[in-house]
Structure formats: structure tokens, C-alpha cells
Chain A
């Protein structure tokens, strides 16, 4: 398969900068597969997984929480608020985050904003745990 350039960047660092043969991302409207020579495309990313296939055929999975993906003729860029490769995820920490979020969901029943935050954190934690299980 034809390789193309991919960059994955978070506000903390550049996580990937190299050639891949395919990328699958979870956008806010559903999963989207990208191959070489894809038409120019921009989408918002939700909480979910990103799968990439490197040039040597290996597959890598990462947990993403919100961001954007942009496809241009030159390269594909994923800008994510947070991005972790499956093998780098600290499962114990994710479990703790899930417990805290679940507690908060019960505690802040009347505060909509805190409820939203707790729900978002719960989704993130669940996503990280399930991504870690896929490596």
C-alpha cells in the first residue's frame, strides 16, 4: 500500500511523525478510515481510539480524547488534547480516574457543569482502559 505522512501532536509533545499506510480515527460523527491520496478533509475528534498501520505492517493503537484531524495533500495531522499509545497507558491510574468520576456522578446530581465534567472524565477513563486491553 502507498505510504503517506502522518503527524500526531498534543499540547505536550509530538507523538508521531512519519510514514503510515492507513489511519482510522473516531470522529464526532463516526469512524473514519484514511488511506493515501484521501481528499482534503477536516473533522472534529471525539473520545475514542486511533489505529495506524506503519510501513512495516505493524498496527498501533492509541487512546484519543477530543481534537481534530486534518488531511491535506502533503500530510495528515492529528491534533489531540491527549493521546496515549495502548502500551503506555497506566491502567491503575485510569481505574482510579474511573472510580472518582463515578463517585462524582452520584455526588453532583444538581450541578450540571460538574456533572458534564464527571461524565467526560468517565468516558475518557473507560476509553483508556479498553484501549489498554487491545495491545
Chain B
């Protein structure tokens, strides 16, 4: 019986070892990709910050700030842009953000969805949401043109009153260990009136402050999408690295326990054999 048990343990150790090799490899891949993704997320931030600052300054100069982009109207129909990953095995990364979007509208009518990432596409099409657009496999190599496409769709739907509110759901990258699922209102733009700076000097606008403001907004949304996708992708890799690191640690722990059991079984077998020999010799 003991030898059968030993064989069983040996087989399990082998299977755990091969799993550990896979999780270790995934951990390494995720951490090397994470470095690049983090740099990209950081590169995208200055544009957004500068554009936002410019928008605030311009808002201070425009008298009739109540443009179509900022005017609040009664929210009946919503458009959600939801960014999730293309692959699983990233801890709670996918389920956290998807759940947040799935529960955000309460008892109101189901929102229309622009899904970015395979997991997001699968999740919402399975649950009977109306899919406005699907972008699987976009996050790793997002181009400004792709984001401009999405922002154009969202702005068109908003201006034609097909939807009254546009929100984006993404995962904020705080550190490789901490990521924060977040939702942000895109349209109507939360008017930066509070942040608007007083007119200190007369600024010359070409052709007019209103025209500049109207041009900034689509750019602003495009840039917001680029930032959000980059942040989410970095978060996904961070989450995957942590998850795989834990899996590797757990596998190591299992191997340790199993080899202890194996050694015990071996010891027991030897002791039994010795006992048999000694009692056999005594019988003679």
C-alpha cells in the first residue's frame, strides 16, 4: 500500500511542478510587459493634463459656456464604454470592472455598450446588452486613430440625442500591486467652471473662444480614451503578475508539503521492511 501511495504523490508533485513552470513564465512575461505598459500610460498623461488645463482656461473666457457638450439633460439613455482585458488569469481585474459597469445604472434602462477587450465583449453580449461597437484585442496596441473613432461614435450619439449620458469604465493603475476600478462621466462634460481661471490678461483667440472650445472637446475625449485604455492595460498586467506570483508561491508550498509526505511514506516503508526482516530473523 505504501508504495502505491508514493507513486501517487510523485505523480502529483510532477503535475504541480509543470503548473508552476507555466505560472512562473506568465509572471515573467507580465512583469516585462508591465514595464512597457507603465511607460506608455505615463507618456499619455501630459497631453491629457495640458488639454484639461487649457479647457479650464478657455472656459473662463467663454461667456456662454452652456454649450451642447456641457448642458445637462434628463438622463434616460446611457452609453457605457467598458474597458476589460483580452485574457483571464489576472486575478479580479476583469470581474471587478465588469461588475462595476453591470451594477452602475441601478434599476434604469440597460445602457448601450462600447466594449473594449475580449472579456468585456463576451460579458455584455451574453447578458443581452445592446452592443454599439466591439473592440476585442485593442488594448495592447491602441492607436490614437482607434480612440478617435470611439470618441467620434460617442459624440455623434450624444449630439443626435440617441443617448443622454456617456460614461467610461476603466481600471486606474496606482501601483503594480494596487489597481482601482473606476467610472468617469465623459458627456455631458462636467463643466470645469469651478476650475475656470479668472481672466487675468486678454488672450487672443483664433477664430473665437467658443470655436476653440468646441474643437478641444472631441480631442479631450479621444485623449481620455487613450489614457483610460493605457491605464487599464497596465493594471491588467499588474493584476496578472500578482495573481501568477501568488499561484507560483502556492505551487511551491504544495510541492513542499507533498515532498514531506513522500519522504514520510518512504521512511515508513523502510521501517516496515526492517521490522519484517528483524522479526523474520528472530523467528529462526
Tell me the A residues contacting B by CB distance below 8 Å: 7, 9-14, 27-29, 32, 39-44, 66-68, 70, 73, 77, 79, 81-82
Contacts and interface: CB of A to CB of B under 8 A. Distances in A.
10 contacts: A11-B227, A29-B207, A32-B206, A40-B204, A42-B58, A42-B209, A43-B206, A79-B54, A79-B219, A81-B219
Interface of B: 40, 43-44, 46-48, 50-51, 54, 57-58, 144, 147-148, 201-207, 209, 211-212, 215-216, 219, 222-223, 226-227
B229 to A, nearest CB: 11
Contacts of B44: 11-13
Contacts, number: 82
Given A41-B203, A41-B204, A41-B206, A11 B47 contact: yes
Contact of A68 (B54, B201, B222): B54
Task: Classify the interface of chain A: helix, strand, loop or mixed.
Answer: strand
A128 to B, nearest CB: 13
A29 B208 CA distance: 11
B215 A81 contact: no
Contact of A40 (B48, B50, B202, B222): B202
Given A28-B206, A42-B54, A43-B205, A11 B144 contact: yes
A9 B204 CA distance: 22
A103 to B, nearest CB: 18
B204 A11 contact: no
Contacts of B148: 81
Among A9, A29, A67, the most chain B Cβ lie within 10 Å of the Cβ of A9
A68 B216 contact: yes
B144 A70 contact: no
Contacts of A28: 206-207
Instruction: Give 6 closest A-B pairs by Cβ, nearest first.
Output: A43-B206, A40-B203, A13-B43, A44-B215, A11-B226, A11-B223
Contacts of A42: 54, 57-58, 203-206, 209, 212
Given A9-B46, A11-B227, A28-B206, 11 more contacts: A7-B50, A9-B50, A11-B226, A12-B44, A42-B206, A42-B209, A43-B212, A70-B57, A77-B50, A79-B47, A82-B144
Given A12-B43, A42-B54, A68 B215 contact: yes
A79 B51 contact: yes
Contact of A27 (B40, B48, B206, B227): B206
Contacts of B207: 28-29, 43-44
